[in-house]
Amino acid sequence: KAGVTQTPRYLIKTRGQQVTLSCSPISGHRSVSWYQQTPGQGLQFLFEYFSETQRNKGNFPGRFSGRQFSNSRSEMNVSTLELGDSALYLCASSLAVGGSYTDTQYFGPGTRLTVL
């Protein structure tokens, strides 16, 4: 079974631009979560999508948004990029059945975004 895929793997943008990152979950997985990883803040939860609906949201400004399609693929968008948005963006998928605290998340390789 193919793992979680993320595109693109690397991205360089300038301040003020916007960017869209894509994530394809493991086949059959219904939940997609996004995380931001930076040296200073560590790993932080952005949001989770399940059945095309945002189910959870982290503490990020409205410039960060996402969506999920009917095939469970997800995109996240960052508008008006700032230097501090430079990070590794990780997407994770899970089956989302049963109790949520048992739901193992499997991660993709990440998209490394550099904002100049």
Q: What is the DSSP string of 31-54?
A: EEEEEEEETTTEEEEEEEEETTEE
Closer to another protein by CB, 41 or 80: give it.
Answer: 41
Contact (CB, 8 A) for 81 and 16: yes
Closer to another protein by CB, 3 or 84: give it.
Answer: 3
Which residues lie across from 87 on neighbouring strands? Answer: 113
Q: Tell me the three state secondary structure of residue 5.
A: strand
Shortest Å distance, C-beta 48 to another protein: 5
Shortest Å distance, C-beta 36 to another protein: 11
Q: Which residues bind another protein (CB under 8 A)?
A: 31, 33, 35, 42-43, 45, 48, 50, 55-56, 58, 88, 90, 92, 94, 96, 99-110, 112
